[in-house]
Amino acid sequence: MSSRFSYRPYRRVFRTPLRTAHGLWTEREGLLLRTEAEDGIVRFGEVAPIPSFGTETLAEAREVCAKFGDTLGAGTVSAVPDRMGCVRFALAAVLDNATPPKAAAARLPVAALLPAGRAALAALDARLEAGFLAFKWKVGVDRPEEEMPLLDDLLARLPGYAKLRLDANGAWSNRDATRWLEFCAERPLEFIEQPLMNEDALLGLAEDYPVTLALDESVSTLAAAREWQARGWRGVFVIKPALAGPLDELVAWAHETKPDLVLSSAIETALARAQILRVVFAEKLTERALGFGIGEVFGDRRWDGPIVGPLLDASWCDQVNPEALWNAAS
């Protein structure tokens, strides 16, 4: 059965630019997809690429969508190459004829994203006051001499029951990564995310130091995650579902291989986030806090969705209006 198909680009400037090791991120661009089936059911999807993570570019995504014309068929997703995970994620959403999953998990914890630099201190205090128990701090933005003392300041303010993750976005050199892992060896961190990009060096660091390491940029697709499993990776897999491909493939992989998994936002809009979280609430995929505490990055409830607190439940998804985003993108 075929469906009528259309798509629209969107561009949203962040309320506050995000400082990462990749540079200053000031806006989010992507595509919203819409299908209308023969029975009148309308579905929406979102393509939210991050080329610095190794995904397809927005231009490539638009080219693929343009080739489809105004009709999609049942075999469309399988016709798109695996490397275009963002397009495949969105197409699976607009062609899914299955009944939406019912939430099995009552509530799941969320890790709050802390800004880079000294701004993290005030942000931590505010998030602790709001009840968050897990945090992620962007590092690799400033020199180690500046960030290491800040880490100790953050840990000094952190209650013993709370958890802190570091995310270097692959920015450290081998020398910096070794220096950081020596520094963190006796500090209570949940894990360090993507300390560097060199695969052999990552495996070596994971064996040489007691700090738990996580992959992020290195596993932007499920194919890459499977390759790391084959190489014997025993650390954490941080998977951004909006980049990785169809959600049913992610669920099957997680149930089959039982990875130490963190599910994280790609700074997608509330449309894709609700689709991801609806599945997360229905499937028991991870014991770790979700990486969806990104805050109100767009400054508009249509695009941000409801306020995210320290615990999320399925009612968050029910408050997102995909049609409102579609209309706002026109």
C-alpha to C-alpha distance for 80 and 78, rounded to whole angstroms: 5
Kindly list the catalytic residues: 138, 240
Pair of tokens at residue 178: 């070794």
Q: Is the pLDDT of residue 309 over 90?
A: yes
3-state helix, strand, coil in the chain (%, to 5): 40, 25, 35
pLDDT at 311 over 60: yes
Instruction: Supply the pLDDT for residue 22.
Output: 75
Q: Give the domains, in start order, of the chain with CATH numbers.
A: 3-95 (3.30.390.10), 108-328 (3.20.20.120)
Task: Check pLDDT > 60 for residue 319.
Answer: yes
147-175 per-residue burial string, b: 16 or more CB within 10 A, e: under 16:
bbebbeebeeebeeebbbbbbbbbbbeee
Q: Which of 27-31, 71-75, 88-92, 201-205 has the lowest mean pLDDT?
A: 71-75
The residue type found at 227 is E
Model pLDDT for residues 272-283, shown as the tens digit of each residue = 999 999 999 999
Is a pLDDT exceeding 70 seen at residue 100?
no
**Average pLDDT score over the chain:** 93
d(CA 203, CA 67): 41
Tens digit of each residue's pLDDT (9 = 90 or more) over 192-216: 999 999 999 999 999 999 999 999 9
Residues 6+ apart with CB under 8 A from 63: none
Residue 98 has pLDDT above 70, yes or no: no
Crossing angle of helices 85-95 and 270-282, in 10° steps, is 70
% of the chain beyond a pLDDT of 70: 97
Question: Which residues make Cβ contacts (< 8 Å) with residue 32, sequence separation at least 6?
Answer: 7, 8, 9, 10, 44, 45, 46, 47, 271, 325, 326, 329
Structure tokens at 193: 């995310």
